[in-house]
Every structure is written in structure tokens, then in C-alpha cells.
Structure 1
């Protein structure tokens, strides 16, 4: 694969099947982060149904969520040398921001799909963190 060393959470005793599962989980998490970032970026630019701009706090939260998800997606898909503790911290930050954004969006009409994308991303980040913490 051209990797120098193993990805975080993968040891020399990790089976090929476990490695594939780890990388598949990493890809699913990166994909969820990308989808959440896209949904939040779109939502932040939308005009509310009544013709007004979205509430500034929700708009800022959506932009923050998009930025954090984008950074997490990049960390998952590009930086294979990131140590396990740093990757776990990035995933936890993403999970927390996504949940906060989902809660903020719950109070705004028409934002349920974006809130759902945020919750999905948080759930998948949590699931991937358990993969990192699992026995190897």
C-alpha cells in the first residue's frame, strides 16, 4: 500500500480481515463527515422559509460543524501517520460539534435533514472510536 508503518490501531498481529474492516470503518466515518460538512455548509447559506436569513448563531454553528467535519474527513483519509490518541481526539471533537449542531438545528424549521446528517456523523464517529479502542 505504500504506507510507512501501520495505521493507528493496527498492529503487526492484526489480521488482513481486521485491517480491511478498520480501513472500511475509517472510510465510512470520513464519508459521513464529508456528507455532514456538505449539509451544514448548504444549510448555513440558506434563506429561511419566511425570507429571512438563518439565525446567526445557527449559521455560525453550521459553518463550525462543516469545518470540523472537513478536517476530520481529511485526517481520516489523508494522514495515515496520525497517532491513535490524536485521531481519537479529532473524532471526539467532531462527534461533540456534530451533536451540538444537531441540537441547534432541531429548533429551526426545515433543518431536520441537516440535523440528521449531524447525528449520523456523530454516531459513526463514536462507532469508529470503539474500533480504535478495541482489542488488537
Structure 2
């Protein structure tokens, strides 16, 4: 069952925003993983260690957050809020590190879209 179909069966008004946020989270995770992979192929890998770590942390947190949101049903709103806030912070840091090093424009863009969507969902959740 697709996420959108699953969320249609729920009676939460934010379900479309949840589905969009899950897509943005998975897009960001994929972009960050690709960025980390590209960094690993560089010869100056020691200088990129922080970027690689930030990208991998961002990918892990985005995937975990997307999975939590995808579970549907009656989730613990306080826990979801905390998870989304943490994920948002890691996305911001990852994007800043990539921008600072002039790396991964796709990763930076995906992280910014993810942050925007997460912030919109947080506002909706109250």
C-alpha cells in the first residue's frame, strides 16, 4: 500500500502534509547518502571527514523520521515533534557544512526542502 493511500484511511487533517514530508525526508536521505559517497571517492578524504559524517547522520535521521511518520495511526505527538525538530537541526547543519565546503548542491537543496516541509508539519502539529 502506498503511503498516500494509507494516510487517506486516517482522519488526521495533516495527512497530505505528512505524506509530502515523508517524501522530502526520503529525498534528503538519498541526496545526503549520495553526497557522502561522492566525498568518499575524493583524494582529500581526511579534510572531508566532517562533511561525510554530517551527511550520513542527516540521512539516518531523515530515514528514521520518515519511518516514524509512515507508521500512521495514533503516534505520540510529543515524540514526533522532538524527532522532527532534531531532524530539522541535523539537516540545517548538514546543508551548512556542504555549503561551506562547496559540496553537494543537490544535497543542500534537498536538505532545505526537507527543513521547510518539517517546519510546516511542526506548525500543523502545534
TM-score (ref. length: structure 2): 0.83
Which structure has the highest helix share of the two?
2
Question: What's 1:64 paired with?
Answer: 57
From 18, 22, 28, the counterpart of 2:20: 28
Question: What's 2:122 paired with?
Answer: 129
Unmatched 5+ stretches in structure 2: none
User: How many Å separate the matches in 2 of 1:2 and 1:119?
Assistant: 26
Question: How far 1:124 moved relative to its partner?
Answer: 0.6
Equivalent pairs counted in the alignment come to 119
TM-score (ref. length: structure 1): 0.77
Tell me which structure has the larger Cα radius of gyration: 1
Coordinate RMSD, CA, aligned: 2.4
User: How many Å separate the matches in 1 of 2:52 and 2:62?
Assistant: 15
Question: How far 1:41 moved relative to its partner?
Answer: 0.5
Unmatched 5+ stretches in structure 1: 11-18
Contact 2:39–2:52 (8 Å) recurs in 1: no
